């Protein structure tokens, strides 16, 4: 892989880490947002109010940099509030020209909260902007620099017209309130979030470098496995449209690029789960694709991969990163944290099956306890 692409990966990981500091159980959302941006696909987040949807998007956008646009839609939102007002001077000349400065058509990262509350006029204009990265209104025709649009809603729409609009978001993520056993972490993290301004860690030029590499990924070896996974989903009664099946290849290719590979493998099939548009469908797919998902692993997007597969293989990257964080500190690592991490490593791997990179870090962690 191109060295410039490889250099972008650790910086992108730093951006994800900075964005999700203090946001409990939301690392996976940030990683899906990065996956979507690299794949050129949009993300829909569905969950009850107050579950950190907007906080994740804002912080990831700040960490990546670029022009950011955010808006909370309502029943009475006017198109001008999203796309810009009509230029009155041009209107006197008989031309309908939109002033898009600072508005959605010029955004590089966008967040539309309560996205399904938009009017028909807004949603119809959004379709062209999301699908083609083109804004068309009156005499205005401009190419949009949009990398990713994140939509958020409290639930999926039942109206067929709105459901068709939701289908334009290839990635669907469903969130719930933080679990009871993480409430202390939620309180501690929430107290710290926002105390320090978040500076860009990666930059959109690095994101673009990775996005440009997706089309060059060799998909030949993994395509039969992807087709087999779709057949298994169909047998389980989980249907995907032809469009979603075809476009899911972009997600698989992006997962490979973000793992530093030029050829996709079975370890990169996990994004297919998030192309399934309903929460029930995703839950059924986890069971139907259990054997396929067992191969999942990722060195960069390890939180969402671990949530998807829930296997020791998927935990390796996160355990390595946690080990490095404890070992990198100038002071002696906290004994309780080291002991907890050692217990987790030993619970997932027997000594003979311990991966070499994790075995080396386990030895150093164990040695740190003898120094205390």
CATH code of the domain in which 90 resides: 3.40.50.300
Q: How many domains are there within the chain?
A: 3
Residues 363, 263 within the same domain: no
> Tell me, what's the pLDDT at 68?
96
Rounded mean pLDDT, 221-241:
95
> Tell me, what's the pLDDT at 177?
93
Residues 50, 162 within the same domain: yes
> Tell me, what's the pLDDT at 248?
97
What's the rounded Cα separation, in Å, for the pair 80 and 64?
27
Residues 229, 268 within the same domain: yes
Q: How far apart are the first and last CA of the chain?
A: 43
Residue 287 has pLDDT above 90, yes or no: yes
Residue 22 lies in a domain: yes
Residue 371 has pLDDT above 80, yes or no: no
Closest CA to 32 of 190, 202, 148, 155: 148
214, two tokens:
């997706």
Q: Tell me: the pLDDT tens digits for 79-107?
A: 999 999 888 877 777 778 889 999 999 99
Residue 248 lies in a domain: no
Residue 372 has pLDDT above 70, yes or no: no
Residue 198 lies in a domain: no
> Tell me, what's the pLDDT at 8?
83
> Tell me, what's the pLDDT at 291?
92
Residues 94, 132 within the same domain: yes
Residues 142, 272 within the same domain: no
* Least confidently predicted of 113-117, 195-199, 206-210, 351-355: 195-199
> Tell me, what's the pLDDT at 210?
93
Q: Tell me: the pLDDT tens digits for 247-266?
A: 999 999 999 999 999 999 99
Residues 276, 350 within the same domain: no
- Rama region for 43: left / alpha / beta (φ>0; ψ in -120 to 50; rest): beta
Give the model's confidence band at 217: pLDDT under 50 very low, under 70 low, under 90 confident, else very high: very high
Contacts 24+ apart (CB under 8 A), 290-294: 292/225, 292/228, 292/229, 292/232, 292/266, 293/269
Residue 332 lies in a domain: yes
Residues 30, 122 within the same domain: yes
Residues 89, 131 within the same domain: yes
> Tell me, what's the pLDDT at 331?
60
The packing angle between helices 279-288 and 223-235, to 10°, is 110
Give percent of the chain above pLDDT 70.
97
Contacts of 131 (CB under 8 A, 6+ apart): 168
Q: Tell me: the pLDDT tens digits for 304-360?
A: 999 898 888 888 888 888 888 888 865 666 788 888 899 999 999 988 888 888 989
Instruction: Among 281, 302, 323, give the residue marking a domain's end.
Output: 302
What's the rounded Cα separation, in Å, for the pair 83 and 94?
20
Instruction: Among 302, 321, 336, give the residue marking a domain's end.
Output: 302
> Tell me, what's the pLDDT at 332?
63
Q: Tell me: the pLDDT tens digits for 41-64?
A: 999 999 999 998 999 999 999 999
Residue 260 lies in a domain: yes
Residues 232, 146 within the same domain: no
Give percent of the chain above pLDDT 90.
56
Rounded mean pLDDT, 211-228:
96
φ/ψ of 2, rounded to 5, equals: -50, 130
Residues 175, 95 within the same domain: yes
Residue 231 has pLDDT above 90, yes or no: yes
Residue 203 lies in a domain: no
> Tell me, what's the pLDDT at 275?
97
For residues 267 and 316, the answer to whether their CB atoms sit within 8 Å is no
Name the H helices within 53-98. Answer: 53-64, 79-83, 88-92
Residue 273 lies in a domain: yes
Residues 11, 147 within the same domain: yes
> Tell me, what's the pLDDT at 192?
82
Residue 26 lies in a domain: yes
Residues 289, 343 within the same domain: no
Range of the domain at 339: 312-371
Give the model's confidence band at 5: pLDDT under 50 very low, under 70 low, under 90 confident, else very high: confident
> Tell me, what's the pLDDT at 41?
97
- Is the pTM higher than 0.75? The answer reads yes
């Amino acid at each position: 892989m191109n060295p410039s692409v490889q250099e972008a990966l650790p910086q992108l990981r730093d951006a994800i880490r900075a964005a999700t500091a203090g946001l409990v159980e939301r690392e996976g959302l940030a990683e899906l947002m990065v996956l979507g941006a690299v794949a050129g696909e949009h993300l829909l987040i569905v969950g009850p109010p107050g579950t950190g949807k907007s906080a994740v998007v804002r912080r990831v956008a700040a960490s990546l940099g670029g022009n950011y646009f955010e808006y909370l839609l309502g029943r009475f939102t006017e198109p001008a509030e999203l796309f810009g007002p009509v230029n009155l001077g041009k209107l006197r000349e008989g031309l309908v020209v939109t002033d898009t400065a600072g508005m959605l058509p010029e955004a590089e990262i966008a967040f539309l909260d309560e996205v399904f509350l938009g009017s028909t006029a807004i949603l119809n204009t959004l379709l062209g902007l999301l699908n083609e990265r083109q804004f068309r209104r009156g005499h205005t025709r401009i190419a949009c620099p949009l990398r990713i649009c994140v939509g958020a809603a409290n639930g999926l729409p039942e109206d067929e017209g709105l459901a068709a609009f939701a289908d334009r978001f290839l990635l669907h993520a469903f969130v719930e309130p933080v679990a009871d056993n993480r409430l202390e972490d939620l309180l501690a993290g929430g107290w710290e979030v926002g105390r320090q301004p978040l500076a860009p860690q990666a930059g959109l030029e690095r994101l673009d470098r990775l996005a440009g590499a997706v089309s060059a990924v060799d998909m030949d070896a993994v395509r039969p496995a992807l087709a087999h996974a779709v057949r298994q989903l169909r047998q389980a009664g989980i249907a995907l449209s032809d469009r979603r099946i075809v476009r899911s290849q972009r997600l698989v290719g992006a997962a490979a690029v973000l793992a530093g590979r030029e050829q996709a493998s079975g370890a990169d099939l996990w994004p297919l789960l998030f192309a399934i548009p309903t929460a029930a469908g995703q839950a059924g797919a986890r069971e139907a694709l259990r054997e396929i998902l067992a191969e999942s692993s990722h060195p960069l997007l390890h939180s969402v991969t671990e949530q998807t597969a829930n296997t020791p293989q998927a935990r390796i990257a996160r355990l390595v990163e946690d080990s490095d964080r404890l070992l990198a500190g100038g002071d002696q690592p906290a004994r309780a944290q080291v002991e907890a991490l050692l217990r987790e490593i030993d619970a997932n791997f027997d000594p003979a099956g311990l991966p070499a990179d994790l075995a080396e870090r386990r030895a150093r962690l164990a040695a740190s306890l003898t120094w205390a």
